[in-house]
Amino acid sequence: MQNEPLAYRMRPQTIDEIAGQEEIIGKQTALYKLIKKGHVPSMLLYGEPGIGKTSLAHAIAGTSNLPFIALNATVSGKKDVEDVVTEARMTGKVLLFLDEIHRFNKLQQDTLLPHVEGGSIVLIGATTENPFHDVNPAIRSRCGEIRQLTRLEPDDLLGVLRRALEDEDRGLGKKKIGITDEQLQMIAEGVNGDARKALNVLESTVIASDEVDGETIVEDWLIKNLLGRIGLFGDNKGSHFYNLLSALQKSVRGSDVNAAMYYLAHLLETGDIIAVSRRLLVMAYEDVGLASPEVGPHVLAATDAAVRLGMPEARIPLANAVVEMCLASKSNSAYKAFDAAVNAINTGKTGDIPLHLRDTHYAGAAVLGHIGYQYPHDSPIGSFGGWVNQQYLPDKVEGTEFYRPVLAGEEVKLAAIYDRLNDFKKKK
């Protein structure tokens, strides 16, 4: 066993050894009480790599004492699933841990699902992707629990590291290791909530450190060197990337420059400048909009520059664009007006186009009654330009207001013009 990685050896054997995840498997949760009383529901565990999904499944298996089978959906075939079914028939019930469950194909599901539904197979599926997007509804419907795990806090990781240092059977307890609390804290804070990575760094540090008079002496520089660049929230192919895009947009919308810059940094580390630029351009019109109309062209110029420059220089124009959007006056009135108009159409609030607005570029248009249109440019109104008080909406929706101005930034001027024109209409 000592030849196996420390992270593997220190995997929790029961749910009482789980670090963190108090809201999911803490002693006061229903799930903890159910498992302690011998009832394990089928469930889906969702979260980033290294967050403890596999450890939790093994701990549940150790607590329940059910026959335990682990499969990975990326490499398992129909035969593997049939073997699980056979085992379930022989023993009465098995606990199946299926990693990367979102990759399970339909044939494998069809073989497995009746037995999950019948209770002979308790399924614990793990996925790094959002189960509501990437896991087949047939599997979701048979899992009573869908739980999103969170990254461990440094204090949780400190407990994991200290347990590994003290455990003589599975950990490093038989070795005399000179490592300070500050150095353990350095590891705990430097692995981005990943317990497996924390244990791997600890093990590598101990192996690489020099021994003096029978004691392994750990040095700071070695820990820093092994920590290196800590992985970010997933890659540009999965749910976490879209969570980052969402967090960026909501931070900009909320005018929080520091949060927006934090998420922009994460996103650019994934290397997908195109996806980030597209989202920033959408935000310029969706969230800033008419209140600061100059921002749209500015962001377009910044994103064009970023694509041409590539990383690392692309970060410069994109950072400028994000700061400007954060601190700009904001309005969503334009696209909200559009959405309101679409909703009206989709709910049957439609009517015939007024005759005077219909096409007249053909002989016979007048015979059809396509007459009466007044050309606004022929009727100047102050410094505004031309305007005529005539009907544009169909009779059935005449008077409906889709656009509601937001009194922010430049849109204050537009709102004043809008209100003035409405006053003119009422004098008709």
pLDDT of residue 277: 94
pLDDT of residue 146: 86
- Residue 253 to residue 260: CA distance in whole angstroms: 9
pLDDT of residue 25: 84
Tokens representing residue 240 in the block: 């976490």
* Same domain as 342, residue 410: yes
Q: Are the beta carbons of 80 and 54 closer than 8 angstroms?
A: no
Task: Kindly state whether residue 1 falls inside one of the protein's structural domains.
Answer: no
Task: Kindly state whether residue 120 falls inside one of the protein's structural domains.
Answer: yes
Residue ending a domain, choose from 148, 173, 205: 148
- Residue 248 to residue 245: CA distance in whole angstroms: 5
Domain count, the chain: 4
Task: Kindly state whether residue 16 falls inside one of the protein's structural domains.
Answer: no
pLDDT of residue 342: 92
pLDDT of residue 238: 61
Using 50 as the pLDDT threshold, list the residues of the chain that sit under it: 232-236
- Residue 266 to residue 234: CA distance in whole angstroms: 10
Q: What is the CATH number of the domain that holds 189?
A: 1.10.8.60
Task: Kindly state whether residue 3 falls inside one of the protein's structural domains.
Answer: no
pTM greater than 0.85 (yes/no): no
* Same domain as 142, residue 27: yes
CB atoms within 10 A of CB 73: 19
Find, among 13, 127, 105, the residue nearest to 65 by Cα. Answer: 13
Q: What are the angstrom distances between the C-alpha of 120 and each of 66, 89, 147?
A: 11, 7, 22
* Same domain as 263, residue 223: no
- Residue 116 to residue 303: CA distance in whole angstroms: 49
* Same domain as 164, residue 89: no
Residue ending a domain, choose from 148, 165, 200: 148
* Same domain as 58, residue 172: no
Task: Kindly state whether residue 108 falls inside one of the protein's structural domains.
Answer: yes
* Same domain as 252, residue 201: no
Find, among 356, 364, 328, 350, the residue nearest to 398 by Cα. Answer: 350
Q: Which domain holds residue 188?
A: 154-227
* Same domain as 290, residue 321: yes
Strands 68-72 and 94-99: parallel
Tokens representing residue 164 in the block: 């590994």
* Gyration radius (Cα) of the chain, Å: 31
Task: Kindly state whether residue 14 falls inside one of the protein's structural domains.
Answer: no
* Same domain as 304, residue 250: yes
* Same domain as 193, residue 158: yes
Task: Kindly state whether residue 7 falls inside one of the protein's structural domains.
Answer: no
* Same domain as 31, residue 120: yes
* Same domain as 393, residue 341: yes
pLDDT of residue 69: 87
Q: What is the CATH number of the domain that holds 344?
A: 1.10.3710.10
Task: Kindly state whether residue 11 falls inside one of the protein's structural domains.
Answer: no
Residue ending a domain, choose from 327, 357, 387: 327
- Residue 206 to residue 76: CA distance in whole angstroms: 36
* Same domain as 263, residue 309: yes
CB atoms within 10 A of CB 410: 16
Q: What are the angstrom distances between the C-alpha of 215 and each of 171, 206, 210?
A: 16, 10, 8
pLDDT of residue 180: 92
Place of tokens 């994103």: 303
